[in-house]
Amino acid sequence: MEVLSPKYHLFSPDSYGAGKSADWTSDRVIALKDEVEFIEPVLAAAGDRFSLVGHSYGAAVALIAALAHPGRVRAMALYEPTLFSLIDAQSPPPNAADGIRQAVHAAGMSLDQHKPNDAAKHFIDYWMGPSSWDNTPEARKPPIASSVINVRRWAHALLTDAAPLEAFGTLQIPVLYMLGKNSPPSAQEVARLLTGVLPLVEVVAFDGLGHMGPITHPQQVNEVIARFIASKVRT
């Protein structure tokens, strides 16, 4: 936001239960379309035309939002949208999504035992590699551990989304699809599937980066995003 704010009017919506937003209170399981409905007031405030920038779960929500508003989205900059349902739709387990399924299961078991730090360790180490949680600065651990309580909710939404792969082939929207070459198989396989059907896609694969590249190497990723947005959106 700091990089883009001098030229663009920015909105930063939270998903359910994130930041200062309300938690999911329904007695039914959440879907990505629910997250899109939750941010509809923000999309309305953004006007008739807007661009979407998202990472991981947020990037998956952005794709579903684009399906709901294809004529309003000017461009999308996405870093590894985690639409794992696309993997299962192509081939049932065992498949490339098994690793994230196992990490979510282990994290959920830790949460059941009231061990949020252990849950965070399972989740972070899956995405960033062994010992990543142990090497995380102590000051950064509490907010991460508190957010991981939503891990089962995230996983259900991402693993059960109903949008077929072919639907994304209808999006006549310029897409910057970013991924880290060190990311786990689940992210790599989603990238292979989506970049194969998105009609106006530009792929950037970062050497030495993983799934958390926007956090570990923000300047490198932000420069690519800013350049893409500038090329697609008139200020």
175 vs 229: CA distance, rounded Å:
10
Task: Please name every residue paired with 206 in a beta bridge, in sequence order, or none if there are none.
Answer: 180
pLDDT in tens, 220-230: 999 999 999 99
Superfamily of domain 32-92+163-232: Alpha/Beta hydrolase fold, catalytic domain (3.40.50.1820)
Mean pLDDT of 207-217: 97
- DSSP codes joined into one string, 36-62: HHHTHHHHHHH-SSEEEEEETHHHHHH
| Terminal-residue alpha carbon distance, the chain | 15
Length of the chain: 235
Phi, then psi, of 216 in degrees rounded to 5: -80, -30
Determine the pLDDT at residue 25: 87
% of the chain surpassing 90 pLDDT: 94
Q: Report domain extents, the chain.
A: 32-92+163-232
User: Residue 40 corresponds to which amino acid?
Assistant: E
Whole-number Å distance between alpha carbons of 234 and 125: 40
